[in-house]
Structure 1
Amino acid sequence: MSVVDFDLSNPEFWARPMDQREEAFRRLRALDSPAFFEEMEVSFAPKGPGYYALTRHADIVEASRNPEVFCSGDGGATNIPDMPAEFAEYFGSMINMDDPRHARLRRIVSRAFTPKMIKQFEADVETAATRIVDDLLVKGSGCDFVTEVAARLPLKIICDMMGIPEKDYQFVFERSNVILGGFDPEYARGDMDRVAEQLLNAGLELQQLVQDLAAYRTGNPTGDLTSSLVNANLDGEQLTLQELGSFFILLVVAGNETTRNAISYGLRLLTNNPGQRALWLEDIDGRAPGAVEEIVRLASPVNFMRRKLTRDFEMNGTLYRKGRKAVLFYWSANRDESVFADPLAFDILRDPNPHVGFGGPGPHFCLGAHLARREITVMFRELLRRVPQIEGGKPDRLHSSFINGTKHMTCTF
């Protein structure tokens, strides 16, 4: 495969087998300067100016450290085409913003994601993981690991944090699947216009769910995050209902979907690397931190984020032009041969491990990284202690350029 044989803008590229994708990004990293791709035409937005594909670790780290040049707010960070105004209403949370708006929102919500706050949820995470494995043992070998194990833990924790009742868990799960369904026919049905309509409806329904709860919590506060956010007053600043709704969608997407995909990918890594499983089993707690970082590196649940150049800028020997876009392919950076020795190998003792699975350095580093690490740690601790030989079958992968996801995967034990 030569560099001209594939197009990252073509949805069919993201349906290729994983080894072909690995080879394509290896070739992109080997180029003297980042490749430039034309944008795909979509019905809901004008065709954009094209984008630089940043695939090397050094380029992604440097771009992340310069948010005033590589901005997130001009058209959105979570999609390559510019986001229409009606999409921004539901999906325009802080990862699609620049300072000072980004800083304001992050300052208000960040108090819920400090290590101290996460510690308060540790007991809940452990109780939920225990119950999930209890249910797994009852269901027996052959069940769907993604829906029965990997998806349940982060979904419950995020919903419990926000105060969403258990009766609405499935509702939240299904709408989040639509939002991150990409090009996958299981979730995206019909032509591009129909898919856009489904996406908007899912966002509207999730936003309405949390706004209704927020309206009630304003007069009837409890200890949940919704109560804290709607009644918070930080230096005279509060979240509007619109901002709260968009933040909840961000939580569902970033805190639910991505963690479940890391857990699913992690089981496949253990299945394909019995030596690493044995190494982890020798010291489950002691080797968990390194194992979790290595899972996140190789899983890279979010494939990319997009930026737009605010001015001409030279970086690592390449001149980037104002107005063009740069797509930061974290998945590729986490396989960069110049940073990671034997980058495709799963090595739970890898040290150092400067992966960008939670984003690059700078203001957009994942706010929920502490929580994600905790959930992955607890879930695998429970599995390794109680079902140490569990294995994952062939994954049914999500057809998406944005999320490196697994929809279904049987497990045996």
Structure 2
Amino acid sequence: MIETEAVSTPPLVDLDWWQFRSDERDPLFESLRRDHPRIFVPVGSNPKNGFWALTRHEDVLEVSKRPEDFCSGEGTQIFDQPAKLREYRGSFIDMDNPEHARLRKIVSRGFTSRALSSIRDEIDETVREILDEMPKDGTCDFVTDFAALLPLRIIDNLLGIPREHEAFILEATNILLGAVDPEYVADQSSAGLAAAMTEASEKLVAILNGIAEERIAEPQDDLITRLVAATDAENLTPQEMAKFFILLVGAGNETTRNAISHGLHLLTKNPDQRSKWLSDYDRYAPTAIEEILRVASPVVHMRRTVTRDGVRLGDQEFRKGEKVVLWYGSANRDESVFADPYVFDITRDPNPHLAFGAPGPHFCLGAHLARLEMDVAFRLLFERFPDIHTVGEPDVLRANFLNGIKHLRAEYTAR
């Protein structure tokens, strides 16, 4: 480990800073990329709780490609989760090979481009259904009335989960990924947070265990059946399926809903880019979606743990057990990779953003589905409400793991 000069500790674990001082994020990370791209951030008095913050694109890319040196099996969030909670949430995102490879191989058969292309019509139908349900007075909370419902409803339809569970699954998702926000968990004590998250996890597991057991007994034409009851391949156990479901409704739902929410706000703040996209939707959609993902960077960070003494990254040497945290939003604004990184440009190409993580064993399995949902969502949204726009500033989630928007007022001409 190299010596570093004394510098002030960046507020990367200060959740109030993330929620209420978002205008300071870009300047802070810009200074870190320039002067301290691998700064050590202490957490409390125990050095083992601290981490190395990696803020440059090249470092995030490099670490993601070296799971043998920087593992995921020790946890992927800054703070270690209680053992009981990891029991429920320990999906393959928190695993290393060979177990990670085994589970990802099984799950990936339901998320290939070919498998997902067949559901475009279903996504289209779902978006139209949600648009039909939008408030008729021309004012809505864009997050709760549209962006949050779309990915959740798609996932439920894919898995064959009855609509009767939708409201609870949405509530549980907010708790699991937004627990440190008092809007979702009133008791912010350690005990209160653990209790709320454990209860939400247990109820989600119960729903999925029951459905998985039903599919094993009576297979149907849905993703759960393909993952737990296929006759020509290895399957997930009901318990593994339940953990994967928690990952799917959490990561899959939250990231897409936040990308869509940020997208509408970005287009509202940049009317020239909005007009350009609407002038030829098909032409600009591919690059517009990638630019929304880059700027939004819905997942703020992921953690890796050093596997042995002597691991090097550039000129820096690490010790076994040290934590490194990959800051995707910073990497996606790296001046050495992106020209004018603070400019929202729907024609940006190339655009090697890391919004789905970097290429490597843990690259987001749902990337193709998220892009497909965003394409259909914006296409039909502007077809139905061409003048829809956000009003005021977003109500931001109190968190540093997700770049979340809880509420976002929008107005449109009702039709």
TM-score bracket for this pair, using the shorter chain length: over 0.9
Tell me the alpha carbon deviations over residues 190-229 of structure 1, each in whole angstroms, 9 at most, x when there is no partner.
1121111101111111111111111111111111111111
2:51 paired with 1:54: no
- Corresponding position of 1:188: 185
Aligned letter for 2:322? R
Aligned residues: 404
- Corresponding position of 1:400: 399
Aligned partners of 1:28 and 1:55 also within 8 Å = yes
Displacement, 1:367? 0.2
Measure, in 1, the Cα distance between the counterparts of 2:141 and 2:410. Answer: 6
Candidates 207, 218, 223, aligned match of 1:225: 223
Measure, in 1, the Cα distance between the counterparts of 2:304 and 2:121. Answer: 38
- Corresponding position of 2:105: 107
- Corresponding position of 1:294: 291
- Corresponding position of 2:35: 31
- Corresponding position of 2:269: 272
Displacement, 1:32? 4.6
Aligned partners of 1:80 and 1:327 also within 8 Å = yes
Displacement, 1:313? 1.7
- Corresponding position of 1:320: 318
Aligned partners of 1:53 and 1:328 also within 8 Å = yes
Aligned partners of 2:49 and 2:79 also within 8 Å = no
Aligned partners of 1:144 and 1:411 also within 8 Å = yes
Aligned partners of 1:9 and 1:38 also within 8 Å = no
Candidates 149, 152, 158, aligned match of 2:149: 152
- Corresponding position of 2:3: none
- Corresponding position of 2:16: 12
Measure, in 2, the Cα distance between the counterparts of 1:225 and 1:8. Answer: 38
Measure, in 1, the Cα distance between the counterparts of 2:407 and 2:138. Answer: 15
Tell me the alpha carbon deviations over residues 124-183 of structure 1, each in whole angstroms, 9 at most, x when there is no partner.
1001111222222x5232211101110111011000111111111111000000001142
Give 3-state SS (helix, strand or coil) of 1:199's partner: helix
Displacement, 1:232? 2.8
Displacement, 1:10? 2.7
- Corresponding position of 1:214: 212
Aligned partners of 1:48 and 1:82 also within 8 Å = no
Tell me the alpha carbon deviations over residues 249-275 of structure 1, each in whole angstroms, 9 at most, x when there is no partner.
000012111100000000000000000
- Corresponding position of 2:65: 65
- Corresponding position of 1:89: 87
For normalisation by structure 1, the TM-score amounts to: 0.94
User: Which 10-residue stretch deviates more, 260-269 or 24-33?
Assistant: 24-33
Aligned letter for 2:345? D
- Corresponding position of 2:408: 409
Measure, in 1, the Cα distance between the counterparts of 2:255 and 2:231. Answer: 30
Aligned partners of 2:179 and 2:197 also within 8 Å = no
Aligned partners of 2:69 and 2:306 also within 8 Å = yes
2:143 paired with 1:165: no
Measure, in 2, the Cα distance between the counterparts of 1:252 and 1:207. Answer: 12
Measure, in 2, the Cα distance between the counterparts of 1:366 and 1:230. Answer: 21
Measure, in 2, the Cα distance between the counterparts of 1:319 and 1:380. Answer: 45
User: Which 10-residue stretch deviates more, 180-189 or 169-178?
Assistant: 180-189
Change (3 A) 1:182 1:329: farther
User: Which 10-residue stretch deviates more, 14-23 or 203-212?
Assistant: 14-23
Aligned partners of 2:89 and 2:247 also within 8 Å = yes
Displacement, 1:114? 0.3
Aligned partners of 2:127 and 2:377 also within 8 Å = yes
Displacement, 1:83? 2.5
- Corresponding position of 1:388: 386
- Corresponding position of 1:349: 347
Tell me the alpha carbon deviations over residues 85-124 of structure 1, each in whole angstroms, 9 at most, x when there is no partner.
2111111000100000100000001000000010121111
User: Which 10-residue stretch deviates more, 181-190 or 300-309?
Assistant: 181-190
Aligned partners of 1:39 and 1:80 also within 8 Å = no
- Corresponding position of 1:303: 300
Give 3-state SS (helix, strand or coil) of 2:8's partner: helix
Runs of 4+ in 1 over 3 A off after TM superposition: 46-49
- Corresponding position of 1:143: 140
Change (3 A) 1:248 1:294: same
Measure, in 2, the Cα distance between the counterparts of 1:247 and 1:261. Answer: 20
Measure, in 1, the Cα distance between the counterparts of 2:386 and 2:220. Answer: 39
Measure, in 2, the Cα distance between the counterparts of 1:217 and 1:328. Answer: 38
Change (3 A) 1:61 1:233: farther
Aligned Cα root-mean-square deviation (Å): 1.6
For normalisation by structure 2, the TM-score amounts to: 0.94
Displacement, 1:233? 5.5
